[in-house]
Amino acid sequence: MNGRVKKSKADIVPLYSKIISSPKRENAMQTAPLTIDYLKSEGLILLECLSGSRAYGLETPTSDTDIKGVFYLPKSYYYARHSDYIAQVSNHSNDIVYYELGRYVELLLQNNPNMMELLATPAEHILYKHPLMAHFSADWFISKLCQKTFAGFANSQIKKARGLNKKIVNPMSLEKKSILEFCSVFIEGRSVTLTEWLHNTATAQQHIGLSVMSKATQMYAMHIDNTKTFGFSGLYQHADATQLRLSAIPKGMTPIAYLSFNEQGYSKYCRDYKEYWQWVANRNEARYQSTIAHAKEYDAKNMMHTIRLLEMAYDIATTGKVIVERPNRDELLDIKAGASNYNALLAQADQLSVEIAAAFDSSHLPDQPNEQAALSALVVVRDRLYASID
């Protein structure tokens, strides 16, 4: 794999011992919390695999060790507390996640990319596999639905990448614009911004009264009352106002000018402002600084996985197999390192999407997974697991 040095399982995951012994006999009612330690101590693990970068063959010296697997619920818990069905158990960082057997099959039938990858994990990355897991055949699940799940998810990541690029290229000031900055004043045959007009006329917004102009959308007649005789409402109530205020205007009072409010533009700005600063608050700062460091203005790791997913979708359509370990390690790691041009990556993704659509159109894969075979196997496996406890 392009000079990559492979390590043994013992080197990579010394903390994740395999549980191969038969399940222990249960008490009449399961009461212990379902933690990873408990699943292991009770022999409830059915499948345990390296996942993420190590399964893809894309690990670097700084890569985490991700684990995914399958467990089954204790018999008493499954039958007596089925309304409290627990679909997955994970550690606090979600680097290690186990899916309950029924949830695993359910997600496979949806051609969920994570579960399809788990099912197709190369043998050298499987830490433990219960013999009963051989009842589930990959051929039952690989279908044309993978176009929607693999390529569809990749395209959602492209949309996310475009959004990130927009945020990086167009940062927003923390100081929020006011509603006044989206208003214009028409006076003496010309148009000026409202803020400019207020400044030039030394007028306070509180002294202005607005009235709606009939048959004119977002147009208002402006009246001024510097003496506060008429108790005008002013243009807005507070700095975060989203609507202009109207006033009761004395009959026969002549407008001094007319005001136009770009309400749609202001509403969009407020949405963008909120989204941007929520993103700043929640972003992964280390990944963001890495993005800034390579000066390509996109999330390089996100784009690497986008291309990987698209290539996997193409593999599925043309070979009928989920190829987890990627043959183009160096190329994908170059993308992760920010060596690629953003627009070139988008063009590559667009071209792959076209090729994927054509490949699935001509593919002989079934339209949907074989649900009957999968569910029948699920019943058999669960029966044998629980029979071994009696």
What radius of gyration, in Å, describes the C-alpha atoms of the chain? 30
Give the pTM. Answer: 0.64
**Which long-range contacts link 161-165 to residues 24+ away (Cβ below 8 Å)?**
161/298, 161/299, 161/302, 161/303, 161/306, 161/346, 162/346, 164/291, 164/298, 164/299, 164/302, 165/297, 165/298, 165/342
Distance CA 307, CA 320 (A): 19
Task: Output the pLDDT for position 140.
Answer: 97
pLDDT of residue 298: 65
pLDDT along the chain (390 residues), means of 10: 51 40 43 82 96 94 92 84 79 93 97 96 96 96 96 79 60 86 90 92 92 85 89 86 90 92 92 83 63 58 90 97 96 88 87 95 97 97 85
Q: Which residues are within 8 A (CB) of 15 and not within 5 positions of it... i.e. 6 or more apart?
A: none
> Using CA of residue 151, residue 156, residue 159, residue 163, what is the dihedral sign?
negative
- Nearest Cα residue to 46 out of 150, 108, 126, 114: 126
Helix, strand, coil % in the chain, rounded to nearest 5: 45, 15, 40
**Count of other CB atoms within 10 angstroms of residue 270:** 16
- For the record, the structure tokens of 198 come out as 């207020």
Burial of residue 118 (number of CB atoms within 10 Å: 0-12, 13-18, 19+): buried
Q: Is 27 helix (H, G, I), strand (E, B) or coil?
A: coil
Task: Put the strands of the sheet holding 66-71 in their side by side order.
Answer: 88-90, 96-100, 66-71, 45-51, 126-129
